[in-house]
């Protein structure tokens, strides 16, 4: 069982749709992350939030819009996606973003398909 919960588990959407991915953790972690993972590839970092503020944006296109409403929740808003955006989207959390050593806890992911 994962301590990071992601919804929905699967999402199929058209290129003109607007949808949101949700992530929740109740471990008291203050850093949260979005990753994108294509089949047979490693996870690629998209965004990092630290204490509810955007800390890192790895040059992600603006059609992906992250939001951190509070310390337990992380959203990823999707709009006008392209077929190549089809992937597994993973949320992760860690205690905090520092220069110390923090293992990351991953959710099960949302498998996104763009038609």
Partner 1 sequence: GQQVMQIPQYQHVQEGEDFTTYCNSSTTLSNIQWYKQRPGGHPVFLIQLVKSGEVKKQKRLTFQFGEAKKNSSLHITATQTTDVGTYFCAARPRGGANNLFFGTGTRLTVIP
Q: Enter the tokens of residue 112.
A: 């996104």
Binding segment for partner 1 (CB under 8 A), chosen from 7-15, 16-24, 54-62, 69-77, is 54-62
Q: Enter the tokens of residue 82.
A: 């392209």
Pairing of strands 18-25, 73-79: antiparallel
Binding segment for partner 1 (CB under 8 A), chosen from 16-24, 60-68, 70-78, 95-103, is 95-103
Q: Enter the tokens of residue 67.
A: 């939001």
Distance CA 68, CA 97 (A): 15
* Shortest reach from residue 41's CB to partner 1, in Å: 8
| Distance between first and last Cα of the chain | 31
Q: Is 54 in the site for partner 1 (CB under 8 A)?
A: no
Is the Cβ of residue 33 or residue 85 nearer to partner 1 in the bound state?
A: 33
* Shortest reach from residue 1's CB to partner 1, in Å: 11
* Shortest reach from residue 71's CB to partner 1, in Å: 16
CA-closest candidate to residue 73, choices 103, 19, 29: 29
Binding segment for partner 1 (CB under 8 A), chosen from 12-20, 60-68, 78-86, 98-106, is 98-106
Cβ(104)–Cβ(92) under 8 Å? yes
Q: Given the rule CB under 8 A, which residues bind partner 1? A: 2, 31, 40-45, 48, 55-56, 58, 90, 92, 94, 96-99, 101-109
């Amino acid at each position: 069982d994962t301590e990071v919960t992601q919804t929905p588990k699967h999402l199929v959407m058209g290129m003109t749709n607007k949808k949101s991915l949700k992530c929740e953790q109740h471990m008291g972690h203050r850093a949260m992350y979005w990753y994108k993972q294509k089949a047979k590839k490693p996870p690629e970092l998209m965004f990092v939030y630290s204490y509810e503020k955007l800390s890192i944006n790895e040059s992600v296109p603006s059609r992906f819009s992250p939001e951190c409403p509070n310390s337990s929740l992380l959203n990823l808003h999707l709009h006008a996606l392209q077929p190549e955006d089809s992937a597994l989207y993973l949320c992760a959390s860690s205690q905090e973003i520092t220069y110390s050593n923090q293992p990351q806890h991953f959710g099960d992911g949302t498998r996104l398909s763009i038609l």
